[in-house]
Structure 1
């Protein structure tokens, strides 16, 4: 399912105009992104949690040339599924 399919399902389920559903979905995702940028953890009970993971820089190697390269520190979004979601998927 992609974003446009999610918008269509939401519009059909709530019997609202697709543009309203698009606004709802956009606000939801934008809120998650903004909270993550602030370093906050987002928890949706029964679904899962989102948080930022911080990785330190390190010295790596280019797999083609074997040359040493410095990899910069980075932050990556991380999702951990909740218990209910795991059980639903594995049922």
Structure 2
């Protein structure tokens, strides 16, 4: 499912116009992105948790030359599905 299909589904299920559904979907994405940007978790009961994971600095290798390369510490978004969502996916 892509964003356009998600908007169509939201519009159909909520009984609203696609333009209104698009605004709602965009607002949800902006809310989640904004919270993660501030380092906050987003917890959606029955769906899951969006959080920021810290990755430590480490050494890697250039696959072409075998040279050791320093990889800087970073942060990355992470999603942990709720039990209800895992159960739904696993049948």
Q: What is the alpha-carbon distance in structure 1 between the residues aligned to residue 14 and residue 44 of structure 2?
A: 21
Q: CA deviation at 1:72?
A: 1.3
- Counterpart of 2:9 in structure 1 is 9
What TM-score results when the alignment is normalised by the length of structure 2?
Answer: 0.94
Q: CA deviation at 1:60?
A: 1.3
What TM-score results when the alignment is normalised by the length of structure 1?
Answer: 0.94
- Counterpart of 2:41 in structure 1 is 41
Q: How many residues of Structure 1 are paired with residues of Structure 2 in the alignment?
A: 91
Alignment of 1:16-35 (within 5 A): 16-35=16-35
Q: CA deviation at 1:13?
A: 1.5
Q: Tell me, what secondary structure is at the counterpart of 1:46?
A: coil
Task: Give the gaps of 5 or more residues in structure 2.
Answer: none
Q: What is the alpha-carbon distance in structure 1 between the residues aligned to residue 68 and residue 77 of structure 2?
A: 27
Deviations 1:42-76 (A, max 9, x none): 11111110100011212211011101111111111
RMSD of aligned residue pairs (Cα, Å): 0.9
Q: What is the alpha-carbon distance in structure 2 between the residues aligned to residue 89 and residue 69 of structure 1?
A: 39
